[in-house]
Amino acid sequence: MVTWKMSALDRKLLRDLWHLRGQLLAVAAIVGCGIGVFLTMRGMYESLVHERADYYTQYRFADVFDNVKRAPESLAKRIATLPGVAAVQTGISLEVTLDVPGLREPATGQLVTIPQTGPALLNQIYIRRGRTVAPNATDEVLISEAFAQANNLEPGSHFEAVINGHWQRLNVVGIAISPEFIYVLRPTSGLPDDRRYGILWMGRNAVEHAFDMAGAFNNVAIALTKNASEADVISSLDRLLDRYGSLGAYGRIDHLSDKIISDEINQDRVYGFLVSGIFLAVAAFIINIVLTRLIATQRDQIGVLKAFGYSNGVVAWHYLKLVLVTLLIGTAMGIPVAYWMGNLLADIYRDFFHFPRLEWSLSPTGLISATAVCLVAALGGAYGALMRAARLPPAEAMLPEPPGRFRPTLIERLGFQRLLSVTTRMILRNLERRPIKALLSVLGIALAVAILVAGRYGVDALDRIIDIQFRAVQREDVMLEFANPRSANVRHAVRHLPGILTAEPFRAAPVRLRFQHRMRRTAILGLSPDGDLRAIVGLDYDRVSLPTEGLLLSAKLAETLGVVPGDRLTVEVLEGRRETSEVLVAGIVNDLVGISAYMTLPNLNRLLHEDATSSGAFVSIDPNLSTELYTTLKRLPTVRGVSVKAAMLANFKEVIARSMQVQTVMNIFFACVIAFGVVYNSVRIALSERGHELASLRVLGFTQREIAVILLGEQALMTAAAIPLGFAIGYGICAGVVAAINATQETFRMPLVLTAQTFAFAFVVVSIAAALSGMMIWGRLRRLDLVAVLKTRE
Amino acid sequence: MPGNAAVFVTRHLSKVYRMGEVEVHALRGVDLELYPGEFVVLLGASGSGKSTLLNILGGLDVPTSGEVFYLDHNLSAASADDLTRFRREHVGFVFQFYNLIPSLTALENVSLVTEIADHPLDPIEALAMVGLKERINHFPAQLSGGEQQRVAVARAVAKRPDVLLCDEPTGALDYASGKIVLEVLDRVNRELGTTTVVITHNAAIAAMADRIIHISSGEIVEVKCNERKASPSELAW
pLDDT tens-digit readout, A695-750: 888 888 888 888 888 888 888 888 999 999 999 999 999 998 899 888 888 878 88
Test B97 with A793 for CB contact under 8 angstroms: yes
How confident is the model at residue A16, as a pLDDT?
A: 82
Q: Give the start-to-end residue ranges of the domains of chain B.
A: 37-60+80-234
Q: Distance (Å) from the C-alpha of residue B103 to the closest C-alpha of chain A?
A: 5
Give A-chain residues touching B140 at CB under 8 angstroms: 403, 406
- Dihedral (C-alpha) A151, A157, A162, A168: value to the nearest 10 degrees? -160
Report the residue of chain B nearest A434, measured CA to CA: B103
A168 and A49 fall within a common domain: no
Q: Distance (Å) from the C-alpha of residue B90 to the closest C-alpha of chain A?
A: 9
Which DSSP symbol is given to A593? B
Phi, psi (degrees; rounded to nearest 5) at A623: -55, -30
- Burial level of A476, CB count in 10 A (0-12/13-18/19+)? buried
Test B140 with A403 for CB contact under 8 angstroms: yes
Of the candidates A379, A378, A376, the one whose C-alpha atom is nearest the C-alpha of residue A368 is: A376
A289 and A161 fall within a common domain: no
3-class SS of residue A332: helix
Q: Distance (Å) from the C-alpha of residue A709 to the closest C-alpha of chain B?
A: 14
Best mutation target among A693, A700, A707 (most B Cβ atoms within 10 Å) is: A700
CA dist A191 → A253, A648, A781 (Å): 19, 8, 57
Give B-chain residues touching A706 at CB under 8 angstroms: 116
Which DSSP symbol is given to A244? G
Q: Which amino acid is at A441?
A: S
Beta bridge partners of A588: A553
The verdict on residue A678 lying in a domain is yes
Test B99 with A696 for CB contact under 8 angstroms: yes
Report the residue of chain B nearest A402, measured CA to CA: B141
Give the C-alpha separation, B175 to A792, whole Å.
21
C-beta of residue A139 within 8 angstroms of C-beta of residue A167 = no
Give B-chain residues touching A792 at CB under 8 angstroms: 97
Packed helices A312-352 and A364-391: angle between N→C axes, nearest 10 degrees: 150
3-class SS of residue A232: helix
Say if B23 is an interface residue toward chain A (CB within 8 Å): no
C-beta of residue A321 within 8 angstroms of C-beta of residue A16 = no
The verdict on residue A312 lying in a domain is yes
C-beta of residue A646 within 8 angstroms of C-beta of residue A470 = no
Beta-carbon count within 10 A of A217 CB? 24
**Helix/strand/coil percentages in chain A, nearest 5:** 55, 20, 25
Report the residue of chain B nearest A433, measured CA to CA: B103
Say if B97 is an interface residue toward chain A (CB within 8 Å): yes
Q: CB-based contacts of A437: which residues, under 8 Å, 6+ apart?
A: A293
Test A701 with B116 for CB contact under 8 angstroms: yes
C-beta of residue A87 within 8 angstroms of C-beta of residue A223 = yes
Packed helices A422-433 and B106-114: angle between N→C axes, nearest 10 degrees: 140
Give the C-alpha separation, A553 to A524, whole Å.
9
Report the residue of chain B nearest A693, measured CA to CA: B101
Give A-chain residues touching B116 at CB under 8 angstroms: 701-702, 706
Report the residue of chain A nearest B153, measured CA to CA: A700
Q: Which of A406, A693, A792 sits opposite B141 (nearest CB)?
A: A406
Q: Distance (Å) from the C-alpha of residue A793 to the closest C-alpha of chain B?
A: 8
Q: List the end-to-end C-alpha distance of chain B, in Å, as a whole number.
A: 28
Give the C-alpha separation, A184 to A197, whole Å.
8
Test B116 with A702 for CB contact under 8 angstroms: yes
**Where a domain ends, among A142, A176, A205?**
A205
Report the residue of chain B nearest A428, measured CA to CA: B103
Q: Which contacts of A410-418 are long-range, i.e. CB under 8 A and separated by 24 or more positions?
A: none
What residues in chain B have per-residue pLDDT under 50?
Answer: 1-2
Give the C-alpha separation, A413 to A172, whole Å.
85
How confident is the model at residue B2, as a pLDDT?
A: 47
Give the C-alpha separation, A62 to A67, whole Å.
14
Say if B95 is an interface residue toward chain A (CB within 8 Å): yes
A650 and A794 fall within a common domain: yes
Q: Which amino acid is at A409?
A: T
Give the C-alpha separation, B78 to B60, whole Å.
11
Q: Distance (Å) from the C-alpha of residue A14 to the closest C-alpha of chain B?
A: 19
H/E segment holding residue A745: none
A393 and A261 fall within a common domain: yes
Test B103 with A696 for CB contact under 8 angstroms: no
Report the residue of chain A nearest B117, measured CA to CA: A701
The verdict on residue A513 lying in a domain is yes
- Burial level of B222, CB count in 10 A (0-12/13-18/19+)? exposed
Give the C-alpha separation, A555 to A564, whole Å.
9
Test B155 with A700 for CB contact under 8 angstroms: yes
Strands A597-600 and B8-19: unpaired
Say if B39 is an interface residue toward chain A (CB within 8 Å): no
Say if B48 is an interface residue toward chain A (CB within 8 Å): no
What residues in chain A have per-residue pLDDT under 50?
Answer: 1, 793-794
Report the residue of chain A nearest B101, measured CA to CA: A693
Test A696 with B96 for CB contact under 8 angstroms: no
DSSP A654-714: IIIIHHHHHHHHHHHHHHHHHHHHHHHHHHHHHHHHHHHHHHHHHHTT--HHHHHHHHHHH
Of the candidates B194, A422, B123, the one whose C-alpha atom is nearest the C-alpha of residue B132 is: B123
The verdict on residue A640 lying in a domain is no
Give B-chain residues touching A793 at CB under 8 angstroms: 97
Give A-chain residues touching B101 at CB under 8 angstroms: 426, 693, 696-697
A–B interface: beta-carbon pairs under 8 A: 96
C-beta of residue A614 within 8 angstroms of C-beta of residue A575 = no
Test B88 with A433 for CB contact under 8 angstroms: no
How confident is the model at residue A252, as a pLDDT?
A: 93
Q: What is the pLDDT of residues A225-282, one digit of tens each?
A: 999 999 999 999 999 998 898 988 999 988 989 988 998 888 878 776 776 677 777 7
Burial A423-448 (b: 16+ CB within 10 A, else e): bbbbbbbbbbbeeebbebbbbbbbbb
Give A-chain residues touching B142 at CB under 8 angstroms: 405
Give B-chain residues touching A407 at CB under 8 angstroms: 139
Q: Distance (Å) from the C-alpha of residue A773 to the closest C-alpha of chain B?
A: 23
Phi, psi (degrees; rounded to nearest 5) at B212: -120, 125
Give A-chain residues touching B111 at CB under 8 angstroms: 422
Test A790 with B95 for CB contact under 8 angstroms: yes
Of the candidates B160, B234, B218, B167, the one whose C-alpha atom is nearest the C-alpha of residue B23 is: B218
Say if B24 is an interface residue toward chain A (CB within 8 Å): no
Beta-carbon count within 10 A of A421 CB? 12
A109 and A155 fall within a common domain: yes
Say if B162 is an interface residue toward chain A (CB within 8 Å): no
Q: Distance (Å) from the C-alpha of residue A380 to the closest C-alpha of chain B?
A: 30
A470 and A518 fall within a common domain: no
A653 and A786 fall within a common domain: yes
Identify how many contiguous H helices and E strands chain B contains and give both numbers: 6, 10
Q: Distance (Å) from the C-alpha of residue A46 to the closest C-alpha of chain B?
A: 54
Beta-carbon count within 10 A of A674 CB? 29
Which DSSP symbol is given to B159? T
Packed helices A312-352 and A276-297: angle between N→C axes, nearest 10 degrees: 160
CA dist A85 → A65, A218, A652 (Å): 12, 18, 39
Q: List the end-to-end C-alpha distance of chain A, in Å, as a whole number.
A: 43
Our count of domains for chain A comes to: 4
| Record: fold of B37-60+80-234 | Rossmann fold (3.40.50)
A258 and A379 fall within a common domain: yes
Residues from A in contact with B at Cβ < 8 Å: 400, 402-408, 421-423, 425-426, 429-430, 433, 692-693, 696-704, 706, 782, 786-787, 789-793
Test B84 with A702 for CB contact under 8 angstroms: yes
Give B-chain residues touching A421 at CB under 8 angstroms: 115
Q: Which amino acid is at B209?
A: A
Test A701 with B88 for CB contact under 8 angstroms: yes
DSSP A47-85: HHHHHHHHHHHHTT--SEEEEEEEEETTHHHHHHTSTTE
Q: For residue A527, what are the domain limits?
A: 500-621
H/E segment holding residue A253: none
ipTM exceeding 0.90, yes/no: no
Phi, psi (degrees; rounded to nearest 5) at A96: -130, 150
Give the helix ranges, DSSP H, for A242-310.
256-270, 276-297, 299-307
Say if B93 is an interface residue toward chain A (CB within 8 Å): yes
Best mutation target among B103, B115, B118, B136 (most A Cβ atoms within 10 Å) is: B103
